[in-house]
Structure 1
Amino acid sequence: MSTSPAPSDAPWDLSFLRVGALVAAAVTAVAAPVTGLVAGWADAVGVLVGAVVVTAFFVVSGVVVAWAGRINDTFTLPAALGAFFVKALVLFAVLNALPEDGWLDRLTMAWTVVAGALLWSAVQLRWVWSRPLYYVQPPAPPREAPDSPERMDPDGPRTRG
């Protein structure tokens, strides 16, 4: 007799995606023009495309893992690995479709993807370290009966007298 897994009631917070996108946009807004002035505009386009690729990859992974986690926590690892596999295949196909001497520098784009992945990882680490995340849902505070003699007053305990 098999039972279907119960849906998870764990909250899946994707607010790190907003923070990561903002940090990536800020770094890209500085890196792309500087790269364009120093190395050329094909390199600047490589920085822009690389930043978009990394941001899209982290957003897709976050959404897929959260969706799988809402169904059941045991689905998160297969979902993450499956999403990674699909994204790697898509990236491989896109990189092979780009001409070697085209409108963007593929080497600069590749280094931007590496740097962007490290940046996004740092943002995620900072986000996780600064939040109270629980392995299990904390218990609800005890509820007291409204007419309980032990009920505490908001001003503190009172003495009978």
Structure 2
Amino acid sequence: MTVAGPRPTRGDAPWDISFLRVGASVTAVAALVGALVTGVVGGWPDAVGVLIGAAIVTAFFAVSGVVIAWAGRIDDTFTLPAALGMFFVKAVVLFGVLNALPEDGWLDRRTLAWTVVVGALLWSLVQLRWVWTRQLYYVPPPAPPTASGTPRPDPEKPASGG
């Protein structure tokens, strides 16, 4: 026999997707530098491939972030299926994009594919740093102290009488 207790209430904290702005900024800088270096070394059509690859990665991470945050607002248990589903969709879309490009076209598929790989690693590093530098609470944070420096009473706890 299982006893099901009351379902925990959803927190009021919104899902934070501010890493998207940081990731897009870092990707833009890296893409510009990468495109310049690639243009000088490998040719300007390859440089365009770097810029398009960076745009694809940024779009993929932005869509995933928004979908996962949306799923998390509904219920935390939906975030993993949303993340795995988005990963599958992105892989299928990327496979389709790369296969749709002609082998000898103006856009080098290999440059584009390597840019997507490097961009995904860069975005992963941005997300890791973003998580490691945030104060993320696994329980509700304590109330800030009052102006006199004494802790505020916790509204969740009953007042203790003497």
Short-chain TM bin: 0.7 to 0.9
Percent of counterpart pairs with the same letter?
74
Tell me which of 91, 94, 108 is aligned to 2:94: 91
Corresponding residue for residue 148 of structure 1: none
CA contact under 8 A between 1:47 and 1:108: conserved in structure 2?
yes
| Runs of 4+ displaced beyond 2 Å | 3-11, 139-143
Structure whose CA Rg is larger? 1
Corresponding residue for residue 111 of structure 2: 108
How many residues align? The count is 144
CA contact under 8 A between 2:31 and 2:54: conserved in structure 1?
yes
Corresponding residue for residue 16 of structure 2: 13
TM-score normalised by L of structure 1: 0.81
Aligned-pair CA distance for 1:140: 3.4
Structure 1 unaligned regions, length at least 5: 144-151, 155-161
Aligned positions of 1:51-66 closer than 5 A:
51-66=54-69
RMSD across aligned C-alpha pairs, in angstroms? 2.2
Structure number with higher relative contact order (C-alpha < 8 Å, ≥ 6 residues apart): 1
Distance 1:133 1:7, change over 3 A: closer
Say yes or no: does 1:35 pair with 2:38.
Answer: yes
Aligned positions of 1:65-76 closer than 5 A:
65-76=68-79
Tell me which of 140, 143, 147 is aligned to 1:140: 143
- SS for the counterpart of 1:30 is helix
Residues of 2 paired with 1:110 and 1:6: CA distance? 43
- SS for the counterpart of 2:116 is helix
- 1:34-57 Cα distance to aligned partner (Å, 9 max, x none): 101110122111111110111111
Say yes or no: does 1:117 pair with 2:157.
Answer: no
Residues of 2 paired with 1:33 and 1:54: CA distance? 18
